[in-house]
Structures are given as C-alpha cells and as structure tokens.
Structure 1
Amino acid sequence: MTLAPIELEQLAIAFIPALLVVVLMWRWQLNYRKALYGMARMLTQLLLIGYVLIYIFQADSSPIVMAVLAVMLIASSWIALGSIETRRSSMLGASFTAVLLGAGSMLLLISQGVLQLDPWYEPRYLIPLAGMLFAHAMNNVSLAAERYFAELANGNSNEDAARIAFQAALIPVVNSLFAVGLVSLPGMMTGQILSGVSPFIAARYQIMVMCMLFGSSGLTTAMFLYLIRRRQSLSRISGG
C-alpha cells in the first residue's frame, strides 16, 4: 500500500479543530495570539523544511549534513532554556554540552552501531533520528532546569534539587515506556505501518527508538544537572 498525497483542500480540514481550540482560548481570555503564532510558525517551518530536505537528500554531502546537525544542536540547546529566561545566556554552555554528549552519543550509537548506515551520513536516516533525539533532549533540559531552580528557591540543597529535577524530567519518557503499544502507537511505527511495512519490523524499529530516547533523555538530563550543580557550587564558593 502506498500513501496517497494529501491535497491542500484536504489538509485544510485538519485545521478546523485547531482553530476551534483557538476560539476557545479567546473566549476564556487566554493567550490565543501565541497559539495562532505557533500554528503559523509550524506551518511555515514544515513547508520550508520540506524543500530543504529535498535539497539535502539530493546533495548527498556529509559537510551539508553536519552543518544541518550543528544548527539543530545549537537551536535545541537555546530553546531548551526558555524556562529560565533570566539565566539563559549563562546556562547555554551547559545545555549545549549536555545535548551534544547525551543526544549526540546516542545518535552515533544508533546510526553506526544499530543501523550501520552506508554512507555513515545517510541524511534520510541521520537527520530524522537527530531531530527526535535533539527534541527530546531539549524538553528534558527545559524540565530539569525549571524544576532544579524552583527547588533551590524552595530552600532545597543542590543535591536534593538535582535529584528531584532528574526524576521530574524523566517522567514523560518513563510514562511513554508504559504506554507504547498499549495506549499509543508512536510516530515511527505508525508511519511505517501506514507505508506498508510489516508490523513486526515496525515494532523492532520502535523498540530501537524507545531505547534511544530513554537513554538520551537520562544521559542529557544527568549531564546538564551535573554541569549546573557544579556551576552553582563554584558560584557559592567564589561568592563566599
């Protein structure tokens, strides 16, 4: 079975419930403008990335792929710190290092160890995998940062704040381990099944993805918390 292309008038139907939610936000005096901006930005970014990916796939160039990954890494590291605006610039190094080591190591392991890509920079695999990893790492850093500084503000020690933040940041990915296959069929598995791949093969790929995301989430969060704990400790020593 081959999926038929979605015509623009068909695609417009998907926006109906989204616009209804915006109307509800407006009626309840919530920030509906932000939601509209987010939808517009999503639409623009996805349409543009379609053209960009076609160019990247056709170019088949390792420097181009590495440049794309670098942009994704920097962007995810910066966006992750949106929950701590006042400390954003000072924490960028910790966020970048954590995402690079946590998500980057998993990308290397999966692409070269599990999938054994040939060539090693195969963009049709490497870029989507990197997107999943960096996005999850970004969310974990954001959750960990917000919870860590909130716990410090509540009077907890560095160690207790980091422990609580680590646990909180991993809640989404741990919940997904329980729910996958029972409550939800995640994106990669659903996409493969819709495109005609055997559910058994799709399940293997999804197992790989879940292990990849859990490992990346844990490593990235732990590295980020280690770096900002160290920074906090050094700041207190120098301040004292």
Structure 2
Amino acid sequence: MSQSIATISLENLAFAFIPVAVVLFIIFKWSLDYKHTLHALLRMLVQLLLVGYFLGYLFESDSASVVLVMLIVMVFFSSWIALSNIQAPRLALLKSAIVATTIAGGFTLLIVTQGVLQLTPWYHAQTMIPLAGMIFANCMNSISLSGERFFAESARGEEYISARKTAFQASIIPNVNALFAVGVVSLPGMMTGQILSGISPLIAARYQIMVMCMVFASAGIASAIFLLLLKKQKA
C-alpha cells in the first residue's frame, strides 16, 4: 500500500493517443466531421497543460483572494457554458444560471470543505479548487439538461409546473444512474486516483461517498433553483 503513483513522462503520455488515433481514423474513414473532433482533442491537450502550470502557481500562492477570484471565474464560465445548448437567449438566462450555480455550488462546497473535511485554512487551494471544479461542473451539466428540456416542453405547450417536473427529472438522471453504478460498474476518478497513489481502498471509498453526495446534491439544487427562476421567463 506504500507504492506511490508513477510520474508520466511526455514520451510515455504519447502512447495514450494511439487508441485516440484509431477513433480519428474511423471518423475520417466514415466521412464524419473529423475536424471538429480533432479541434476538441487539441483544445483538451492545450487547456489541460496550461491549467497544470496555472494550478501549480495557484497551489503555491496560499492566498484567499486568489482562490476567491478563481471560484468566481469558475462560476461565471460554468454558467455561460451551461446555456450553450439551450434554445433561448443566452444573455437573458445568464443571471439565473449564475445565481443557481453560486447558491447550489457554494452551499455544497461550504458543507464539504468546512463540515466534512474541515479545511485549515478554509481556502486551502489544493483541496478547494478541485472540489469546486467537480461541483460547478455538475451544476453546469444539470442546468444545461434542465434548461434544454424545460424549453422543449414549453415549446410543446406544456404548462410551467409540468415542464418543470419533466425538466428536473431529466436533469438528475445521470447522477441517479451514477449512484446505482458506482462501485459495481465503475470506480470513479477520485477513488481510482487515490487507490493508485497508495491510499487504503476503505479510505478512498469514504472520499468517494463524499464526492457522490456533493455531486448529486449540487446538481439537484442547481437545477431546482434554475427552474424556479425560469418561471419569470415562462411568464
């Protein structure tokens, strides 16, 4: 249990792109839009390398103000991206998305970091930022799913209450499925990473339970708040 996770060299990392190249070949061979997929892969590569360097600076800064600024930026961008698939004016919905993400994500992050983990200091960046990323990303996905379904139901002539119920149910399906599957179908990223780094599976399981709770709760609360705020849009 004392073995630490291996450092991946850039040369070895290149091997991970071999199966990716197979998928790209299939997309090209079947005359699909390989340029869009290639663009997504390149963005992933650049963004993750850049964020790796940035987080290194952030973790060393030990500054509450820097962490708060980072959290605000994460809330804004997750709210903006959440609206990209909704057939409605994005700017008109942005305030609702930011409010829903801030309340749901902030509340969940506060409970997890100060109640479960009891961080010292409270802004400990190496813990706060990764957890905030998971929470805000789930708020983003939930808002996107609920908003898209809400406006689709509204376009069919459904009343607000009916559209809201259907949209909320649709938005939590991925998280409910994840609750059923975790530990049986899949070992999620945090638990896998901790096991690979040598932490006891029993301890890793506790962390994963915390993560599953915060993911489910933040997504559900964000979706509910966003849908409640959409009542003004419906009116």
Q: Which residue of 1 aligns with 2:113?
A: 111
Alpha-carbon separation, structure 1, partners of 2:53 and 2:10: 16
Alpha-carbon separation, structure 2, partners of 1:27 and 1:86: 36
- Say yes or no: does 1:194 pair with 2:193: no
Q: Which residue of 1 aligns with 2:73?
A: 71
The aligned runs of 1:70-219 (5 Å cut-off) are 70-84=72-86, 86-219=88-221
Alpha-carbon separation, structure 2, partners of 1:86 and 1:229: 14
Question: Percent sequence identity over matched residues?
Answer: 53
Deviation at 1:103, TM superposition (A): 1.2
- Give the 3 Å change call, closer, same or farther, for CA 221–4 of structure 1 in structure 2: same
The letter of the residue matching 1:207 is I
Alpha-carbon separation, structure 2, partners of 1:85 and 1:190: 37
The letter of the residue matching 1:54 is G
Residue segments in structure 1 that go unaligned for 5+ positions in a row = 234-240
Deviation at 1:30, TM superposition (A): 2.4
Alpha-carbon separation, structure 1, partners of 2:35 and 2:188: 30
Alpha-carbon separation, structure 2, partners of 1:29 and 1:83: 25
Residue segments in structure 2 that go unaligned for 5+ positions in a row = none
Q: Which residue of 2 aligns with 1:19?
A: 21
Alpha-carbon separation, structure 1, partners of 2:138 and 2:177: 14
Q: Is the 8 A contact 2:86 2:147 kept in 1?
A: yes
Q: Is the 8 A contact 2:139 2:223 kept in 1?
A: yes
1:2 to 4, 11, 24: 4
The letter of the residue matching 1:229 is K
Q: Which residue of 1 aligns with 2:53?
A: 51
Alpha-carbon separation, structure 1, partners of 2:47 and 2:87: 24
Alignment TM-score, normalising by the size of structure 2: 0.96
Q: Aligned to 1:20, what secondary structure does the other structure show? A: helix
The letter of the residue matching 1:61 is S
Q: CA deviation digits over 1:90-128, x for unaligned, max 9?
A: 100011111111111100110011100000000010000
Alpha-carbon separation, structure 2, partners of 1:101 and 1:190: 30
Deviation at 1:27, TM superposition (A): 2.5
The letter of the residue matching 1:145 is G
Q: Is the 8 A contact 2:105 2:218 kept in 1?
A: yes
Q: CA deviation digits over 1:9-33, x for unaligned, max 9?
A: 2111111111221222223332221
Q: Is the 8 A contact 2:195 2:201 kept in 1?
A: yes
Q: Is the 8 A contact 2:84 2:90 kept in 1?
A: yes
Alignment TM-score, normalising by the size of structure 1: 0.94
Deviation at 1:182, TM superposition (A): 0.5
Q: CA deviation digits over 1:39-75, x for unaligned, max 9?
A: 1111111101111111111110000011111111100
Count of matched residue positions in the alignment of Structure 1 and Structure 2: 233
Deviation at 1:231, TM superposition (A): 2.6
The letter of the residue matching 1:74 is F
Q: CA deviation digits over 1:165-202, x for unaligned, max 9?
A: 10001000000000000010001110100000000000
Q: Is the 8 A contact 2:81 2:140 kept in 1?
A: yes
Q: Aligned to 1:84, what secondary structure does the other structure show? A: coil
Q: CA deviation digits over 1:143-170, x for unaligned, max 9?
A: 1111111111112111111110100010
